[in-house]
């Protein structure tokens, strides 16, 4: 191969490598591998702790950076990245606070994500470091709500970029719903008076979010000739 061809091949190969590195999190199977690595570390940690849970309202944190494959045409982190990274935070939180139900197969109980609401306040810029903090928010006889926030530091001050909540339901393999309080007890959490007071106080806010379900029965017509492409 002549020298110019070798140079062109090297430039093409180098460009391909740089492009792949710049979009590492978007490569095939990248999401699955990241999930597996998080699960592996959490299972190891839970076993070392003999499946004893962290305190009920503990805050768990995952650190991230906004890379090039996380941004949109507005040059800040795109909306889908928030939801994708919330998957990792939910895994981390549930395996930390509820390790017995998540890991002991005899319970035959599985956690299902029934919805996510995200509220944006500040943008996350390219290459910005940020942290997702997650915790148990509140619950009733059916739903367990998780609370998340995306934070970063600017001028030595903490900035909240986004607040999000996740709605979790626990189901047996038969499809029967399991009350969150029962799941908490199975995992070794003793619900004290102050825990119930906090749950009830926060439910005054979270309970209103369930009213959004009425949109599934919205009577307004969605068929509009102007909207068809």
**Cβ contacts of 156 within 8 Å, gap of 6 or more:** none
SS3 assignment for 140-196: CCCEEEEEEEEEEEECCEEEEEEEEEEEEEEEECCCCEECHHHHHHHCCCCCCHHHH
Residue 224 has pLDDT above 80, yes or no: no
DSSP assignment letter at 19: H
Q: How high is the pLDDT of residue 16?
A: 56
Mean pLDDT of the chain: 90
CATH of 27-212 among 3.20.20.70, 3.40.50.620, 3.30.70.100, 3.10.129.10 = 3.10.129.10
75-130 residue pLDDT tens: 899 999 999 999 999 999 999 999 999 998 888 999 999 999 999 999 999 999 99
DSSP H or E run through 16: helix 3-22
Residue with tokens 């908490």: 184
Domain boundaries, the chain: 27-212
CA distances to 33, 88, 103, 220, 229 from 40, rounded to whole Å, are 10, 12, 12, 47, 46
Q: How high is the pLDDT of residue 218?
A: 81
CA 157 – CA 131 distance, rounded (Å): 14
Residue 53 has pLDDT above 90, yes or no: yes
What phi and psi, each to the nearest 5 degrees, are found at residue 126? -55, 135
**Cβ contacts of 93 within 8 Å, gap of 6 or more:** 60, 134, 135, 136, 146
164-197 residue pLDDT tens: 999 999 999 999 999 999 999 999 999 999 999 9
**Could you tell me the two tokens for 130?**
């940020």
CA 3 – CA 5 distance, rounded (Å): 5
Looking at the DSSP assignment, which residues form a beta bridge with residue 111? 170
Q: Are 124 and 150 contacting, i.e. CB atoms less than 8 angstroms apart?
A: yes
CA 8 – CA 23 distance, rounded (Å): 22
Identify the band that residue 217 occupies on the pLDDT scale cut at 50, 70 and 90: confident
């Amino acid at each position: 191969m002549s020298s110019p061809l070798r140079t062109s091949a090297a430039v093409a190969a180098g460009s391909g490598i740089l492009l792949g590195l710049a979009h590492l999190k978007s490569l095939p199977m990248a999401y699955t591998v990241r999930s597996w690595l998080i699960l592996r570390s959490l299972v190891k940690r839970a076993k070392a702790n003999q499946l004893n849970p962290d305190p009920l309202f503990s805050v768990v944190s995952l650190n991230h950076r906004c890379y090039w494959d996380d941004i949109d045409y507005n040059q800040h982190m795109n909306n889908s990245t928030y939801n994708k990274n919330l998957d990792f935070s939910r895994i981390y939180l549930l395996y930390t606070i509820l390790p017995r139900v998540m890991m002991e197969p005899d319970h035959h109980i599985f956690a299902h994500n029934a919805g996510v609401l995200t509220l944006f306040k500040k943008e996350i810029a390219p290459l910005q470091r940020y942290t997702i903090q997650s915790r148990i928010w509140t619950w009733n006889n059916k739903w367990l709500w998780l609370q998340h926030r995306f934070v970063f530091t600017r001028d030595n001050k903490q900035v909240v970029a986004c607040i999000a909540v996740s709605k979790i339901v626990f189901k047996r393999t038969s499809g029967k719903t399991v009350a969150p309080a029962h799941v908490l007890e199975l995992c070794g959490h003793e619900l004290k008076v102050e825990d119930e007071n906090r749950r009830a106080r926060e439910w005054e806010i979270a309970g209103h979010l369930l009213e959004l379900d009425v949109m599934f029965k919205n009577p307004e017509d969605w068929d509009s000739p102007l909207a068809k492409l």
